[in-house]
């Protein structure tokens, strides 16, 4: 059995093939930005779509909700339960091939 080698390069290529229909309003939000300041920023690692990015100069968590794959990992992965996650409004969000 052959195992496909995954490198950051080809993850980016795969992510770039996914289609989205982003809503104007984010379906993701941080409940308390102050909690993020003292956190290990786990969300910037576990999110497969790199939705979360820590802005050191602004001391703010940036949320690129348009890239969300709707995997739900951030609902359980944030150690401070500091992410408010909902499905995007109907018709918006990620478009998977067979849906
Ligand atoms: S894991 Fe949660 S608390 Fe930590 S930076 Fe991310 S959203 Fe903020
Ligand atoms: S649901 Fe998944 S893809 Fe979307 S922000 Fe959370 S971890 Fe990232």
Rg (CA), the chain: 15
Residue 46 CA: which ligand is closest? 2
Judging by DSSP bridges, how do beta strands 83-85 and 93-95 pair with one another? unpaired
pLDDT (average), residues 77-91 = 93
All residues at 6 or more sequence positions from 78 whose CB lies less than 8 Å from its CB, including other chains: 42, 43
Its domain, for residue 55, covers 25-95
Residue 64 has pLDDT above 90, yes or no: yes
Which of 62, 31, 51, 61 lies closest to 94, judged by CA? 51
Q: Is residue 5 part of a domain?
A: no
Q: What is residue 84's predicted lDDT score, i.e. its pLDDT?
A: 95
Ligand 1 midpoint to CA 68 (Å) = 16
Task: Return the higher-pLDDT residue of 6 and 52.
Answer: 52
Ligand 2 midpoint to CA 3 (Å) = 25
Q: Is residue 7 part of a domain?
A: no
Q: Is residue 20 part of a domain?
A: no
Residue 58 has pLDDT above 70, yes or no: yes
Q: Is residue 36 part of a domain?
A: yes
Which of 15, 22, 72, 82 is the pocket-test mutation for ligand 2 (most atoms within 8 Å of CB)? Answer: 72
Q: What is residue 29's predicted lDDT score, i.e. its pLDDT?
A: 96
**The model scores a pTM over 0.95:** no
CATH code, domain carrying 64: 3.30.70.20
Number of domains in the chain: 1
């Amino acid at each position: 059995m052959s195992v496909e080698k995954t490198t950051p390069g080809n993850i980016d290529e795969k992510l770039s093939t996914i289609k989205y229909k982003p809503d104007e309003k984010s379906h993701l939000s941080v409940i308390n930005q102050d909690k993020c300041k003292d956190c290990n920023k786990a969300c910037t690692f576990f999110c497969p779509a790199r939705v979360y990015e820590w802005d050191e100069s602004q001391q703010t968590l940036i949320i690129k909700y348009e890239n969300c794959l709707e995997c739900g990992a951030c609902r359980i992965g944030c150690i401070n339960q500091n992410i408010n996650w909902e499905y995007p409004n109907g018709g918006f969000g990620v478009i998977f091939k067979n849906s």
